[in-house]
With several copies, the nearest count.
Chain A
């Protein structure tokens, strides 16, 4: 299956892109997607401890199952205002 990945702020800069399509085996969890992303973009790995992950706009934990066509967003610490 494929999902869409959105990279924001530092994650966007480290990955060198703001979005990408990611191919994943079925079933996959959020942690599997992160492992694949870290493999493709090793510079992202130092962000892992600080990132929140959203799946279709909702914060999720690493063991959440991903469905085909999902939108996965990498969200560094926020600083609005």
Chain B
């Protein structure tokens, strides 16, 4: 149960994630929360929403979790991404890494987020204060 990617349609419970992650044989937990921002490229954003190709996104998230554990001296890596509308300043994604020591925990958490932005079929749409909406310019999968 150490590697459990999740896609959720409600608030990400970061307290539950860190509580479930804590282990008596590990000294370091790094939690990254990506939170929704009220501006992008100078335009004011009022709402954000996410969609995913869920089965493929889950497989991609699990692959990242496993890669993080293989590449770095960490015990576990768990990723949760929220879908649907996410209110401003709430977490759209959480990555929790547990390790004996903090250096690898920071490295693995950063790696997981870099991979998540690059290799997971999830899309973010911004709704602008001035009207209109747009998909955030992204990265072609497999590139």
Contact = CB atoms under 8 A, between A and B. Distances in A.
Chain A binding surface SS class: mixed
A59 B59 CA distance: 12
Interface of B: 34, 50-53, 55-57, 59, 81, 92-93, 113, 116-125, 135-143
A73 to B, nearest CB: 6
A79 B122 contact: yes
Contact of B59 (A6, A57, A78): A57
Contact of A77 (B56, B116, B137): B137
Given A54-B56, A81-B34, A8 B142 contact: no
B53 A50 contact: no
B121 A54 contact: yes
Interface residues of A, number: 18
Shortest 8 CB-CB contacts between residues of A and residues of B: A80-B122, A77-B138, A79-B138, A52-B141, A9-B123, A79-B136, A79-B124, A57-B56
Contact of A78 (B92, B93, B121): B121
Nearest to B102: A81
A75 interface: yes
A54 B137 CA distance: 20
A10 B136 CA distance: 10
